[in-house]
Amino acid sequence: MRKKLITALALLLCSLLPTTAADYAGNRVRFRTLIIWDPNAESAHVEFDKQAMQFFHKLSYGRGFVYDTRTDCPTSVDTLKLYDVVVMLNTLPHNAQARDAFRQYMEQGGGWLGFHATAYNDANTHWPWLNEILGCGAFLCNNWPPQPALVDVKKNHPVTRSLPQQFVVPASEFYQFAPSPRKNKNVEVLVSISPKNYPFGIKDIVTDGDFPIVWTNKKYRMVYLNMGHGDEEFIDATQNLLFVNAFRWVALGKQK
């Protein structure tokens, strides 16, 4: 009896000790992720998607998180609610049922990390709520061909505070939207194409205008990143750090 009492007291004391880094070792899963991609998208998007899945796979080493991949968007909000964060790689829900499930998931506190074509919302999209979650207007224009760009960073945010004030991102096709997300009071723009790039492009040229490429809509648990075109998106350590920071911030509930 005395031995059992000593054991119980020891367990109680251990439970009162502060958590240390060692407590996170082993197979403690911190969150669940769903990664969605479209193998039938344009080839440059598929190239990015495949590299992105390998990138996130490496981040999962040690089972800090577990993930599933699929090539279609779930049509049930109950399926989406199994995950702490949904990562969409150049694809969106295309039918009414999947769109409604995703809307419910986000409005109930779900987490979303969207890349590149997830924000392509022109007249053919027919999904007004996409503008609501993104906090911007429709697609306006883009540079072409893909090229590197000098970007300006807003540093007083957990996603960007470890980044330099300016850096050069790898070559990509970047979308400009009108109205700009910066005009939305609920949006916090984190990274923008520097005006020093103008005129930006060779075939399709962006000559001026506000050009955010990474932002969060504070009404939702989300970050949108305009990168995602081609096979050069993971060659830069600074941009990779941006991706990791955004993923962690969304997945862990906007932890500071």
pTM for this model (two decimals): 0.89
How would residue 124 be classed by pLDDT, with cut points 50, 70 and 90?
A: confident
Q: Total structural domains in the chain? A: 1
Query: Mind listing the pLDDT tens digit for each residue in 127-143?
Result: 999 999 999 999 999 99
How would residue 253 be classed by pLDDT, with cut points 50, 70 and 90?
A: confident
C-beta of residue 65 within 8 angstroms of C-beta of residue 28: no
Residue 232 lies in a domain: yes
Domain limits at 56?
A: 26-251
Over 80: is that where the pLDDT of 25 sits? no
Residue 9 lies in a domain: no
Average pLDDT over residues 19-25: 45
Among residues 197, 115, 211, the alpha carbon closest in space to that of 148 is found at 197
C-beta of residue 36 within 8 angstroms of C-beta of residue 70: yes
Query: Mind listing the pLDDT tens digit for each residue in 157-214?
Result: 999 999 999 999 999 999 999 999 999 999 999 999 999 999 999 999 999 999 999 9
Residue 256 lies in a domain: no
Residues 224, 130: Cα–Cα separation, whole Å: 12
Residue 14 lies in a domain: no
The CATH number linked to 48 is 3.40.50.880
Determine how many CB atoms are found less than 10 A away from the CB of residue 168.
Answer: 14
Give residue for tokens 């470890």. Answer: 162
Three-class secondary structure of residue 20 per DSSP: coil
Residue 224 lies in a domain: yes
Residue 130 lies in a domain: yes
Query: Mind listing the pLDDT tens digit for each residue in 46-73?
Result: 999 999 999 999 999 988 899 999 999 9
Residues 256, 240: Cα–Cα separation, whole Å: 19
Over 60: is that where the pLDDT of 2 sits? no
Strand pairing of 111-115 and 85-89?
A: parallel
